[in-house]
Homo-oligomer: A and B are copies of this chain.
Amino acid sequence: MSLLVVGSMAFDDIETPFGRSDNTLGGSSTYIALSASYFTEPIRMVGVVGDDFGDEHFNLLHSKNIDTRGVKVVEEGKTFRWAGRYHYDMNTRDTLDTQLNVFADFDPHIPQQYRESRFVCLGNIDPVLQVKVLDQINKPELVICDTMNFWIEGKPEELKKVLERVDVFIVNDSEARLLSGEPNLVKTARMIRNMGPKTLIIKKGEHGALLFTDNGIFSAPAYPLESIFDPTGAGDTFAGGFIGHLSRCAKINEAEMRKAVLYGSAMASFCVEQFGPDRLNDLDMLEVEDRYQSFLDLSRIGE
Contacts and interface: CB of A to CB of B under 8 A. Distances in A.
A219 B301 contact: no
A224 to B, nearest CB: 5
Contact of A89 (B89, B183, B187, B210): B183
Given A255-B301, A259-B301, A221 B224 contact: no
A272 interface: no
Interface in A228-283: 254-255, 258-259, 262
A302 interface: yes
Contacts of A225: 184, 186
Given A224-B185, A226-B187, A219 B258 contact: no
Given A204-B207, A255-B302, A301-B258, A219 B218 contact: no
B221 A297 contact: no
A: contact size bracket? 35 or more
Contacts of A218: 298-299
A222 interface: yes
Contacts of A254: 302
B224 A186 contact: yes
A274 B259 CA distance: 35
Contact of A186 (B183, B226, B301): B226
Contact of A219 (B88, B208, B210, B255): B208
Interface in A287-303: 296-303
A219 B217 contact: no
B207 A224 contact: no
Interface in A164-204: 183-187, 204
A189 to B, nearest CB: 8
Contacts of A184: 225-227
| 10 closest cross-chain pairs (CB), A and B | A219-B221, A299-B299, A207-B207, A219-B298, A255-B302, A186-B224, A258-B301, A186-B226, A255-B303, A217-B224
